[in-house]
Amino acid sequence: MLDWSNTALRQWICDQWQMDIHCIRQDIDIQGSPERALSRIVMADTQDRQFLVEQFDPGKQALRDRVARAVDFLFTHGLTRVVPYRKTVRGEFLPIFNGACFQVSQFLDGTLLKRPDYLSSAAMGQNTARFLIKMAETATGMEKHLSFPRFSIKTYIHELFKTMKIHDPPVYDRFLPVLDFLEAEFMPAHDHLALAFCHGDLHPLNIIWDKDEIRAVIDWEFAGIKPDLYDAANFVGCAGIENPNGLGMDMVMTFLAKLHQTDVISEMGWRFFPEYVLALRFAWLSEWLRKKDHEMIDLEHAFMRILVDHMPEIRHAFDRVA
């Protein structure tokens, strides 16, 4: 574990980002996934401004630099509900100290999300849809400046099943009917879905809330070029895993209704939207398998079965708000 009180480290941070650090705030809970960084802490300067300082493995430097430049592009083009990373005096986002790279951004605190009550918030759904609409607008032209790898959930699922068949045959057999369902229509259509820049991990816990308003969307590590429905499908799927009834509650319905008013998601994207919600759950299943979280594996299986067994009703509910 990194010793954030190390005098040489603190002085280096001050020199790199022209900060006058006054204290370390170990009493502050930091929102977002702690696994994305080796270590992280909130520091306060002499003006009581708070900054999130994160340490990353140097092997992640290229990825984190691309993420920082993407967020910076969005922010400078008008997407205000993000937290841009600060550049050093040399114009770097991730300088290296003692074999690790570091990143600094403004720290924002937010309202604690009340689970699962938030599923009833139409305002949260509407504000998240507005964020995606604005992000699509501000991301225009980004690919001229930044290069992103393409992501295919189809390829991801096929590779996951190959791994499960070798290392966990019972899980392979358990989830194989879900794959068979997707193979019928979704997989052949997947490669024809329209692509767009996406956050890559949009869900309510990766948003800093001020009651029902968005202060900032965080955790951009999986940002990149993906099918245009990716973020919306992930957001809806995370509402459903919280409570399957959430698929038809105010947050999701208002979210989808607002997106239907725009062209953020293509016609083909809407056609396969419920299937994409289902397909993305395999990315989450992979996480539970890695952690050996059997309770979440069981929950994921139950949720996938609900999606498969009730796909016509779910599609009708989603289409009804168009």
CATH assignment at residue 53: 3.30.200.20
The beta strand positions in the chain, using DSSP E, are 21-24, 39-45, 50-56, 96-97, 100-106, 195-198, 207-210, 213-217, 224-227
Residue 111 lies in a domain: no
51 plus 173 within the same structural domain: no
81 plus 130 within the same structural domain: no
Q: Give the pair of three-digit tokens for residue 68.
A: 């920082």
Q: Is 52 helix (H, G, I), strand (E, B) or coil?
A: strand
CATH assignment at residue 197: 3.90.1200.10
pLDDT of residue 9: 97
Q: How far apart are CA 45 and CA 29, in angstroms?
A: 18
268 band by pLDDT with thresholds 50, 70 and 90: very high
Q: How far apart are CA 265 and CA 196, in angstroms?
A: 9
Neighbouring residues of 124: CB distance < 8 A, sequence distance ≥ 6: 118, 204, 209, 212, 251
**Which residue type occupies 115?**
R
Over residues 207-257, the pLDDT tens digits come to 999 999 999 999 999 999 999 999 999 999 999 999 999 999 999 999 999
78 plus 149 within the same structural domain: no
Over residues 46-101, the pLDDT tens digits come to 999 999 999 999 999 999 999 999 999 999 999 999 999 999 999 999 999 999 99
Q: What is the mean pLDDT of residues 255-264?
A: 98
76 plus 140 within the same structural domain: no
Q: What is the mean pLDDT of residues 29-54?
A: 95
290 plus 201 within the same structural domain: yes
In which domain, by residue range, is 15 found? 7-106
Q: How far apart are CA 32 and CA 52, in angstroms?
A: 12
166 plus 90 within the same structural domain: no
Q: Is 114 helix (H, G, I), strand (E, B) or coil?
A: coil
**Which residue type occupies 21?**
I
208 plus 188 within the same structural domain: yes
Give the residues across from 198 on adjacent strands: 224
pLDDT of residue 1: 78
